[in-house]
Chain A
Amino acid sequence: MRPVRLIRSSGFRIAATFTSIFLLAAAIAGTAAYSIVSEELTKRHERALDEDYAVILSSFSKGGLSDLKETIDAHASAFRSRDGIYLLRDQNGGKIAGNISSAPTSISGNFVDATSLGIDADYGYFIKRGELGGHSVIVGRSAEDVSEIEEIFKDGSMWAAIVLIAISLAGAIMLSQRMNRRIEVIKGALESVSDGKFDTRIPMTGQGDDIDTLSELMNSTINRLGSSVESIRQISNDISHDLKTPLNRLRINLEEALEGQAAGKSVAGEIEEAYDESIRIIGTFDALLRIAQIESQARRARFAELNIVEVMADITDFYQASFEDADMELGVNLPVAVPSIHGDRELLTQLIANLLENAMRHCPSNARVTCAIAFKDNAVVLSVSDNGEGIPAEQRDNVLRRLYRLEKSRTTPGSGLGLSMVKAISDLHGATLSLEDNEPGLVVVIRFPVGPIDGAGSGLS
């Protein structure tokens, strides 16, 4: 990873920001701790000075100058001048007793540098002064410990900062590399999607974090995009493959008509054939578009609660006469009540109509077709069964494909789109469609799970 990219990566930035905030917090805490400690030390020194001065004062008031001199000498000899200073001077500033030789004549405040007291050190002294019988007294305590504490704090916090920065920098690099690896994976996946590979999925870490949530969303988007593109691709294939044949037939009809006309024959028959062919082409085209629209899921906006038993009763009533005319029996087996389902009445009507027309078209006369609705295992189950020839097990998947027609049914009318529309409508409703053996015959079973439909990330409006 190049340094610039590392610094720009969001992982690094988060870590850097966090480190700065942490350093600032540590600095505030350190300063506070230092000032508490140094204030406490200062107070102690001041108390000790007060005590010393009190002793000196009392010796003067009891024994006069000689006692004062004695006391100061005693104190001065007990302390090294580095630790504590004592100085007694006469009116002219001449030294009478003490462990330092000079002091600034005019000192303001209670803190002086070591050098101004003639001591070679880089710290200061807390001092207390007084006038006793014309003599001036200076008592002082070294602030060496305060300076040392300050040193320790300075050094300590510098090292702490260095260690902290080093660790968090390492953490930032690690974190950003980890983030970058995941982002690289997502980037790679999206690049592959933009190359048209819609089966690409972003792998999940299973941690359930925000990136996982985002990946999941992206996956379902890719999925939807993929199925839209697939549906467009499929429809253009269908059109190019399966509308070409009838279009070619139409052209032949018209060619024949033109030839016939040139030969002076009546061409009404050819023109009528061409007309019928064009009607069939339009029908196929409409059905293809309709399936594509159903598959786009936009129709869900108009879903409503409906009673499927009612829909079934109406449409079977509509087809009853046609079945009788075709010498077939249409049985209807409806329960008194089933839970309502969330769906589109018009499309469900079309679904049942397609199944009935398929049965009517492919079953021999005297066949019996039965429509039933039942409620079991938390699903409303719609079935249309017949006792015709059925569909061989190995072909059952194929018949759901668009324009697929069993070889033997090529000669019967129909676009070959009936079952794929049934499939599209049942998918739209979140239902499962299965073709089963009715022994003999075919049974088409559609199970509508009761409760809200959970579409593939689409969300209901």
Chain B
Amino acid sequence: MRILLIEDDIKTASYVSRGFTEAGNTCDVVDNGQDGLFQATRESYDVMIVDRMLPGLDGLSLVKALRAAGKKTPVIFLTSIGGLDDRVEGLEAGGDDYLVKPFAFSELAARVSALARRPTMQQEQTTLKVHDLELDLIRRRVTRAGQEVELQPKEFSLLETLMRNEGRVLTRTMLLERVWDYHFDPQTSVVETHISRLRSKIDKPFDTALLHTVRSTGYSIHAPR
């Protein structure tokens, strides 16, 4: 993955770029808005990570300019502005995701990889398949090894979201946003409870586990490796 990081805080920039480089990605770092915009238009990246408070040109204006220039590179805003409206403002400016500082690198990595590999043109899929688990989007039916699995509507959405991102880690907050459209931080383990309910239906009765917990990060569904 080629990542462009536009961040003026040296400590955060080196922390993030080291993380991505160690995972085998290329991460270019720019420390101000104008150079960031120049770099983003000159070269092609899979994902851009943009701080909102930047010297020269602020993050929102940068992304607006980028979108006006027709660049569709996915953008995730990174910021210490944890305001209620800032997420909406960021998305309205043309951002694709939003992460508030301070953050865990695993959360950023999960969000970046979800953005980077987001298919540009989603071909009409009617069934999702992971190993022997099948999800029929039309009839809203789930089977594992040919056996029908009864799911509640939200459990179905949760499984669908996980399966559409097969092999990728989805964090607790990403699931909250994508499955329930909730943007607050529950103080109790609600998401975990829903995952364990789902797990007891799709994994427990079978030999191999498909739904995996990634320690201190989130969850991922994939075939046994």
Q: How large is the interface on B (under 10, 10 to 19, 20 to 34, 35 or more residues)?
A: 20 to 34
* Interface residue? B102 (CB, 8 A): yes
> A346 near B184 (CB under 8 angstroms)?
yes
Task: Judge if B182 is at the interface, Cβ distance under 8 Å.
Answer: yes
CA distance A408 to B197 in the complex (A): 32
Chain B residues with Cβ below 8 Å from A360 are 188
Query: What 0/1 readout, one digit per residue, does chain B (157-197) give for beta carbons within 8 Å of chain A?
Result: 00000000000000000000000101111111110011001
> Smallest CB–CB gap between A356 and chain B, Å?
9
What are the residues of chain B within 8 A of A444 when measuring CB–CB? none
Given A282-B102, A318-B180, A349-B182, verify A413-B187 contact (CB < 8 Å). Answer: yes
Given A282-B102, A289-B82, A290-B82, A317 and B154 touching (CB < 8 A)?
Answer: yes
> A357 contacts B186, CB within 8 Å?
yes
Q: Which of B22-30, B83-91, B123-131 contacts A (4 or more CB under 8 A)?
A: B83-91
Whether B193 and A321, one on each chain, are in contact in the complex, defined by CB atoms closer than 8 angstroms, is yes
With both chains docked as a complex, state the minimum distance between the C-beta of B177 and any C-beta of chain A, in angstroms: 11
Scoring B residues 82 to 104 as 1 if CB is less than 8 Å from chain A, else 0, what string do you get?
11110010000000000010100
Chain B contacts for A301, CB-based, 8 A: 85
- With a cutoff of 8 Å between Cβ atoms, the chain A residues found around residue B184 in the complex are 346, 349-350, 353
Within 8 A of B (CB), among A168-196: none
- B185 contacts across to A, CB distance below 8 A: 283, 286
A283 CA to B182 CA, complexed, in Å:
17
Compute how far the CA of A319 lies from the CA of B180 in the bound complex, rounded to whole angstroms: 12
| Cβ contact within 8 Å between B82 and A322 | no
For the complex, count residues of A whose C-beta is within 8 A of B: 30
Interface of B is mostly: loop
A314 contacts across to B, CB distance below 8 A: 180
Interface centre among A290, A413, A414 (most CB of B within 10 A): A290
Q: In the bound complex, what is the Cα–Cα distance between A299 and B85 (angstroms)?
A: 7
B residues less than 8 Å from A321 (CB atoms): 190, 193-194, 197
Q: In the complex, what's the smallest C-beta–C-beta distance from A265 to chain B, in angstroms?
A: 23
A318, B84: Cβ atoms under 8 Å? no
Nearest-neighbour CB distance to chain B for A58, whole angstroms, equals 108
Residue of A nearest to B194 (CB): A321
A418 near B187: Cβ-Cβ < 8 Å: yes
B190 surroundings in chain A (CB, below 8 A): 318-319, 321-322
**In the complex, what residues of B have CB within 8 A of residue A293's CB?**
83-84
| Residue pair A299, B84 in contact (C-beta under 8 Å) | yes
In the complex where A282-B102, A321-B194 touch, is A353 in contact with B186 (Cβ < 8 A)?
A: yes
Instruction: Please determine whether A322 and B84 come into contact, CB atoms closer than 8 angstroms.
Output: no
Residue pair B189, A322 in contact (C-beta under 8 Å): yes
Say how far A386's CB is from chain B's closest CB, in angstroms.
Answer: 15
Q: Does A361 contact B (CB under 8 A)?
A: yes
Collect the chain A residues with CB atoms within 8 Å of residue B194's CB.
Answer: 321
**Is A325 among interface residues, defined by CB-CB distance under 8 A?**
yes
Q: Mark B109-132, 1 if CB is under 8 A from A, else 0.
A: 000000000000000000000000
Chain A positions 288 through 316: 1 when the CB is less than 8 Å from some CB of chain B, otherwise 0: 01100110001101100000000000100
CA distance A220 to B218 in the complex (A): 48
Q: How far is the CA of A346 from the CA of B194 in the complex (A)?
A: 21
In the complex, whether A415 has a CB less than 8 A from a CB of chain B is yes
For B153, give the chain A residue with the smallest CB separation.
Answer: A317
- How far does the alpha carbon of A413 sit from the alpha carbon of B180 in the complex, in Å? 24
Find chain B residues with CB under 8 A from A346 CB. Answer: 84, 182-184
4 residue pairs, one from A and one from B, having the closest CB atoms: A350-B184, A322-B193, A321-B193, A322-B190
26 CB-based A-B contacts, threshold 8 Å: A282-B102, A283-B187, A286-B82, A286-B100, A286-B185, A289-B82, A290-B82, A298-B85, A302-B85, A318-B154, A321-B193, A321-B194, A321-B197, A322-B188, A322-B189, A322-B190, A346-B183, A346-B184, A347-B84, A349-B184, A353-B182, A357-B187, A357-B188, A360-B188, A413-B187, A418-B187
Name B's A-contacting residues (CB within 8 A). 82-85, 88, 100, 102, 154, 180, 182-190, 193-194, 197
Since A318-B180, A319-B190 are in contact, a sample of 16 more A-B pairs with Cβ atoms closer than 8 Å, ordered by chain A residue number, is: A289-B82, A293-B84, A299-B85, A314-B180, A321-B190, A322-B189, A346-B84, A346-B182, A346-B183, A346-B184, A347-B84, A349-B182, A349-B184, A350-B184, A361-B188, A414-B187
